[in-house]
Structure 1
Amino acid sequence: MLTDPLFYLCAIPAVLLYGIAKGGFGGNIAILSVPLMTLVMPPQQAAAILLPILCTMDLVALRTFRGRWSLPNLRIIVPAALVGTVLAWVGFRWMSEAHIQLMIGIIALVFTLNIWLRRGEPPTRGVSRWRGGFWGTIAGFTSFSIHAGGPPINVYLLPQKLDKTLLMGTIAVFFAVVNFAKIPFYIQLGLFDTSNLLTALVLLPLAPIGIRLGFWMLQRTNQELIYQLCYVFLFFTGCKLLYDGITNLLV
């Protein structure tokens, strides 16, 4: 088990941020968790420590949002994400973290800038098998290595203007399936060693605290503000990932 105090100084807020996002408040802040932990450890180890915690959070989130999700969307994006997960596993040894960061960063920035620079309200889009399949596959792929599937799936779901609880419930189910699907692949890649699993166990009690806090904040915030926060977090997340990707490529 990791005992470095500096690690926990980064890991505790990282887990709480993920829990708040799982609870439905500003979902894209979760993408900051792995970068925060990589200040003190390699990204693959950070992802391995977080995955068991995320799976526990997913179970709590499913109970919190039970029955409040968009089944037509899930029927499209979940199978697509599983395809993306398998593709990421196959390409794990060849696709660098920097390439994934650049890809997600560009997607997030282009999407949010397109929304903000348009005149008037962006058009509402409905359920789409083609768009859902594409963004679901991308989300499954980017979620595999650095748990960064939030921006791609938000690019697909946010334009639908779903009710805030329905939106967060759909995201909760989506990532529950994706995260549990990653477990056998992480085992095969040797990412679940004793140290990582014991460290995850120590951090585990923070999971329900973060989720309940996020759900409490969601219920006390109006829907328009939730969407605006999602766009803001998506933009700054894109900036952060773009910077990290370029920096890692130049190192």
Structure 2
Amino acid sequence: MTELPSDGVAWAMLALAAALVGFSKTGINGTASLSILLFATVLPAKESTGALLPVLIIADLFAIRFYSRHVEWRVLGRLAPWVVVGTALGAVVLWFVDDTFMRLLIGAILLAMLGLQVWNRLRPKAVDPKPPSGLARRSAAAGAGVAAGATTMTANAAGPVMVLYLMLSGFPKLKFLGTMAWFFFAVNLFKVPFSVGLGLISWHTLLMAALLIPAIAVGALTGRTVAHRVNQQQFELATLALSAVGAGLLIVSSATS
């Protein structure tokens, strides 16, 4: 990115996107998918991923401030090595592969995971259900970690992956938000050297993120208010619905690009 946008409409779209990022981090996850599309509308597709990354990191800091006491460190430990693998794969994809096909694949995977979550909620529950085996937990962590790393590197779109993984794990609302906050803060910081190496982050993208801090703050404060006012069932349904919308938007954007 060599220069900042010069017209008011572009800045209004970027401010809306930044507010949605803040809201997604501290409230109902899933709205960040629209932010991806708004940034890609204002900026060239690949440059938009680098421009959005500092905005995501700033929003992560708000989420950590609000939910730092509610985090499941064991889950993050299981995911960490697989996220590294997925991020490296995503960097290779960005270098060699057309991202239109990648977005289509990501959207299809997310919709499949959503279907799994809906099936899990609707199927009859066993009277005395057996907890998942250690192998099942490790396999789920491996799949979610690689998918999250790859999708966040290629399109900043790992949110729906983690939404579905943590919901399948049965996380309550605040622990869900706290674990998501620390996960994405660590992952987004890890992505910075890759993005710099690919030429996706510059002083202009950092300046843009700084100018968007007020919009991020408005979204984050609104998200926290909403999160504390909805119950667990409402939170899960809204999060799943917005994740489905995000997956659909990725597929539509790939089909029309």
- TM-score normalised by length of structure 1: 0.90
Partner of 2:87: 85
Question: Please, which runs of 5 or more residues in structure 2 have no aligned partner?
Answer: none
Structure 1: distance between partners of 2:79 and 2:6: 39
Residue 219 (structure 1) shift: 0.4
Counterparts of 1:18-97 in structure 2, within 5 Å, are 18-23=21-26, 25-97=27-99
Distance in structure 1 (CA, Å) of the matches to 2:16 and 2:192: 23
Return closer, same or farther for 1:229/1:121 CA change in 2, 3 Å cut-off: farther
Provide the secondary structure at the position in 2 that maps to 1:205. helix
Q: 1:49 to 1:119 in 2, by over 3 A?
A: closer
Distance (whole Å) between structure 2 residues aligned to residue 53 and residue 119 of structure 1 = 34
Alignment coverage as a number of residue pairs = 247
| 2:12 counterpart of 1:3 | no
How big is the shift at 1:90? 2.6
Worse-matched range after superposition: 12-21 or 36-45: 36-45
- Equivalent positions of 1:157-236 (< 5 A) are 157-236=166-245
Q: Provide the C-alpha distance between the structure 2 equivalents of 1:119 and 1:55, rounded to a whole number of angstroms.
A: 32
Task: Calculate percent identity across the aligned residue pairs.
Answer: 28
174 and 222 in structure 1: CA distance in 2 versus 1, 3 angstrom threshold? same
Measure, in 1, the Cα distance between the counterparts of 2:172 and 2:248.
27
Q: Is the 1:54–1:179 contact (alpha carbons within 8 Å) kept by the matching residues of 2? A: yes
The Cα offsets for residues 37-60 of structure 1, whole Å up to 9 and x where unpaired, read as: 222221222222221121122122
Q: Report the residue type matching 1:7 in the other structure.
A: A
Amino acid aligned to 1:172: A
Checking the alignment, whether the CA contact within 8 Å between 2:16 and 2:215 is kept in structure 1 is no
Hey, what's the Cα distance between the residues in 2 that align with 1:161 and 1:73? 12
Matches within 5 A, 1:136-151: 136-151=145-160
1:102 corresponding residue in structure 2: 104
Find the counterpart in structure 1 of residue 255 from structure 2: 246
Cα gap change, 1:3 to 1:243, in 2 (>3 Å): same
List 4+ stretches of structure 1 deviating above 4 A.
Answer: 121-127
Contact 1:2 1:199 in 2 (8 A): no
> Over aligned residue pairs, what C-alpha RMSD do you find?
2.1
